[in-house]
Every structure is written in structure tokens, then in C-alpha cells.
Amino acid sequence: MIFTVEECEQALTEHDLDTLEQQLGRRFPLAYRQHYLQYNGGYLSDEWKEREQLCFGGFNSIRYGELPAEQLYIDLLKNFLHLEYLFPFAHDQGGNCFLISLREEPDYGNIYIWIMDTKDLLLVADSFEEFWYRLKTELDD
């Protein structure tokens, strides 16, 4: 099966991402930028949604859509200041957030999941590339 992301929002430009990075005061990792220039938010194709082991919900859009990632980030920080520079880019089917770290090294680029009910922050992957690979690998099994 081909691994695809569907129902994406309006395409982003380099300028869109540059503007967001200026607002955040941090730069996104290159693989993350490349992903969002190709897929601005969206969901996995129907073939993947039908797999029972899948708990991944979808990617949050940037700039466009009903609830863009920038607003999610602002909302998170209102109640959880310790999540500063952890940018929400995706969600699972239970409403938990996947976050990419924009913090200084050695944390920069790490991927976490923020468990809303328990307020736990769990490391998922050491990079966006690893997250993408693990997501694809889990789905291929």
C-alpha cells in the first residue's frame, strides 16, 4: 500500500513557514519543513484508518483550517507553560498531542506525546524522520 496523507489544508509556502518561525523565535527541523510543504495537515488514507492497531489521528494544519497548530500552541501554553517551544503538529485518536521540540540541543527535534488526561510528556522519537519512519513501519506491520 502507498502511504499517503489526504484532506490536507491549503498548501504552505516557504514564506508561511518563515513567518511562523519568526513568530515562535525558533526554526523547525528541515524534515518537518519539507513534510509541511508537501502536506499541510491531513489524515492518513482510508486503507490505514481501517487498521485496528492504529492510534494516530492525523496531522494538524498550519495557518489554515478550523484549528491551526498555531492556535493549538497558544491554547496549550495558557495552561501548561512548561510546554513552551514544544509545537503541536499531530494528534492521536484520543485527543493527545504530538509535539516537536524547538528547544535547544540536545532536545531540539525530539518528538513527544502530551497525554492530556495524565499530563504526561512522553518521548516518542528522536527526530521527525524517525517519527515518520516509525509511523510507516507500524502501519506496514
Nearest to 62 by CA among 72, 53, 54: 72
Q: Which amino acid is at 105?
A: E
Q: What share of the chain is helix, strand, coil (3-state, %, to 5)?
A: 35, 25, 40
Question: Is beta strand 97-101 parallel, antiparallel or unpaired with respect to 111-115?
Answer: antiparallel
What digits encode the pLDDT tens for the residues 32-68?
Answer: 999 999 999 998 876 665 554 447 889 999 999 889 9
Q: Could you tell me the pTM of the whole model?
A: 0.90
Is residue 24's pLDDT more than 50? Answer: yes
Outline where 2-127 has alpha helix (H): 14-24, 30-38, 46-49, 69-79
Q: What is the mean pLDDT of residues 70-80?
A: 95
pLDDT band (50, 70, 90) for residue 93:
confident
pLDDT band (50, 70, 90) for residue 137:
confident
